[in-house]
Amino acid sequence: MTGKPVALVTGSSSGIGEAVVRRLSGAGHRVVVNSARSVEAGRKLAESLPDALYVQADIGVQAQAQRLVAAAVDHFGRLDVLVNNAGTTRRIPHQDLAGATPEIWREILDLNVIGTWQTTVAAVPHLRKSGGSVISVSSIAGSRPAGSSIPYAVSKAAIEHMTRLLAAALGPEIRVNAVAPGLIETPWTREFTDIAEHVRQSAPMRRVGLPEDVARAVHGLVGATYTTGSVVQVDGGAHLL
Ligand SMILES: NC(=O)c1ccc[n+]([C@@H]2O[C@H](COP(=O)([O-])OP(=O)(O)OC[C@H]3O[C@@H](n4cnc5c(N)ncnc54)[C@H](OP(=O)(O)O)[C@@H]3O)[C@@H](O)[C@H]2O)c1
């Protein structure tokens, strides 16, 4: 293995993914920025960082997830860290069962669960060579009866159990962990003002999170050489409420 370590962060043209890319780049990683739609923003971010590559790919489509991993390895010659961050949701009150249609379930599970799975599967042979690690972005909704919709919360619960199952299956070469953010200020949560107020009033840290808070936790897991199968809460203590 030659050169600096390489990190691929899915869904990194904005929000949490962008903060992770910036943090890992600042810590000496070569980085791969990805998005499905916001090509201009992804390109600009990659151009602003040293040793960065932008790859457009919808990780919900298997061939595109495979192409993304292949592009990273072709360009940099190795892969050390995969951050599964790309995800989607719909805001549906949990009581509105009819609102969570089978189509919406499929859309959310396809990207959040199967997209995460197929990107990880594509990355595993390369992570095995480098002794690398996977970090997936779950949510406080993955373990609490909370979140923007039931399909979203279930998708994050699946990511957390996938993390444990893969950690058991892929050790000792590859570590697999997850972070579970609470409410984080990103374009995604701009309209979640009611939840933000609740968090400011009652979570132990008395503030909503910033993308950088999640990026610090991801970076910590990259260096956590004896940690695998863990889900780290990054929610200012909101899971205690
Ligand atoms: N913000 C929060 O409060 C919060 C809390 C808990 C967990 N999370 C999780 O954190 C992750 C990022 O959320 P965020 O708040 O940072 O959202 P965001 O700012 O909207 O960023 C989402 C990123 O994912 C990309 N993306 C969407 N669909 C994609 C696909 N099919 N393939 C590749 N990239 C795709 C988006 O770009 P394009 O749409 O242009 O492709 C964008 O770069 C999600 O997994 C979310 O569930 C967020």
pLDDT by residue (tens digit) across 85-129? Answer: 999 999 999 999 999 999 999 999 999 999 999 999 999 999 999
Distance of CA 84 to the CA centre of its chain: 4
For residue 188, what is the DSSP state?
G
Q: How far is the CA of 109 from the centre of ligand 1 (A)?
A: 14
Spans of all domains in the chain: 6-240
Verdict on whether the full-model pTM lies above 0.95: yes
Q: Is residue 47 pLDDT above 80, yes or no?
A: yes
Is residue 199 very low, low, confident or very high in pLDDT (cuts 50, 70, 90)?
A: very high
Ligand 1 pocket list (CB less than 6 A): 10-17, 34-38, 58-60, 85-88, 111, 137, 139, 181, 183-184, 186-189
Q: State yes or no: is 226 an active-site residue.
A: no
Half-sphere exposure of 231 (CA within 13 A, CB side): 24
- Cα radius of gyration rounded to whole Å, the chain: 17
User: Which SS3 state, helix, strand or coil, does residue 177 take?
Assistant: strand
Query: Residue 41 CA: which ligand 1 atom is closest?
Result: 40
Take residue 236 and report the two structure tokens written for it: 């200012």
At residue 10 the predicted structure's pLDDT band, cuts being 50, 70 and 90, is: very high
C-alpha 203 – ligand 1 centre gap (Å): 23
Active-site residue identified among 54, 76, 117, 152? 152
**pLDDT (0 to 100) of residue 191:** 87
Say what angle helices 211-222 and 15-26 make with each other, to 10 degrees. Answer: 50
Q: How far is Cα 51 from Cα 91, in angstroms, rounded to an integer?
A: 37
Identity of residue 92: I
Backbone angles phi, psi at 39, to 5 degrees: -65, -45
Which pLDDT score is estimated for 1? 76
Average pLDDT over residues 122-146: 98
- The pLDDT of residue 209: 98
For ligand 1, atom 24: residue with the closest CA: 11
Angstrom distance (rounded) from CA 32 to CA 22: 11
- Residue 9 pLDDT: 99
Q: What is the dotted CATH code of the domain comprising 6-240?
A: 3.40.50.720
Mutational pocket test of ligand 1: of 9, 16, 58, 200, the residue with most ligand atoms within 8 Å of the beta carbon: 16
Q: What tens digit of pLDDT does each residue of 143-194 get?
A: 999 999 999 999 999 999 999 999 999 999 999 999 999 999 998 898 889 9
The DSSP-derived string for 42-105 is: HHHHHHTSTTEEEEE--TTSHHHHHHHHHHHHHHHS---EEEE---------TT-TTTS-HHHH
| Ligand 1 atom closest to Cα of residue 115 | 31
Q: What is residue 2's predicted lDDT score, i.e. its pLDDT?
A: 79
3-state secondary structure of 107: helix
Is residue 172 within 8 Å of residue 197, measured between CB atoms?
no
Distance between Cα 188 and ligand 1 center (Å): 7
Tell me how far the alpha carbon of residue 112 lies from the centroid of ligand 1, in angstroms.
10
Distance 84 CA to ligand 1 centre (A): 10
**Which of 35, 108, 210 gets mutated to test ligand 1 (max ligand atoms within 8 A of its CB)?**
35
